[in-house]
A = this chain, B = another copy of it.
């Protein structure tokens, strides 16, 4: 089994995606929001790149079945129902609803890897379940951190590193790591007893703290809050 991770969020070479399980990660906060919303009963999530697409998509369904969520510059978008804090996505708001989500980094990332066959939504909230699913699928793995406005993101990479760490601990077969995957694992090991310390060091973490979202860092650092593995297919995220 071979595990790769791409440190910068440009669209990968399609050859890298074919035949691999892909794990998309945007810890602060898109994939944490997705995993949380689905664990609270959202029926499906449609990740879209732009605000315009989100409004247009919402009009295609009866308003009461749809939740519009996401952010620009970390804040809730005018006219949207919810922002990009996982804890807003409580069952009373999202249960049985279709969530239309647009964020700066995370929702775009799904479209960058959309030619892949199995695309999983990863976060610390469901990291154990993601590792387990990867072991069951028994294929090569490609981890895609969504990054921070095109730049390398420490918190996304740490989550990728934790996934690598969990898989290498459990997999019996030889695992081949690239320089990037080894480095992600080493970075995770450096912070594994204090993920929040890394979130405070990260550019995006600092930005969220400055804008009053420090609680979200604590929330997104929770490990294995749920056992669900949302999957992106044909433009929609669902739990099998």
Contact = CB atoms under 8 A, between A and B. Distances in A.
A154 B183 CA distance: 7
Total identical chains = 2
A239 interface: no
A148 B179 contact: yes
Interface centre among A151, A180, A183 (most CB of B within 10 A): A183
A123 interface: no
Nearest to A189: B190
Contacts of A201: 179, 182
Interface residues of A, number: 20
A183 B178 contact: no
Interface string A121-134: 00000000000000
Interface string A107-147: 00000000000000000000000000000000000000000
A113 B152 CA distance: 19
Interface in A64-106: none
Contacts of A151: 178-180
Contacts of A179: 148, 151-154, 157, 201-204
A187 interface: yes
Contacts of A7: 7-8, 152, 180
23 contacts: A7-B7, A7-B8, A7-B180, A8-B8, A151-B179, A151-B180, A152-B178, A152-B179, A153-B179, A154-B179, A154-B182, A154-B183, A157-B179, A178-B203, A179-B201, A179-B202, A179-B203, A179-B204, A183-B183, A183-B187, A186-B186, A186-B190, A187-B187
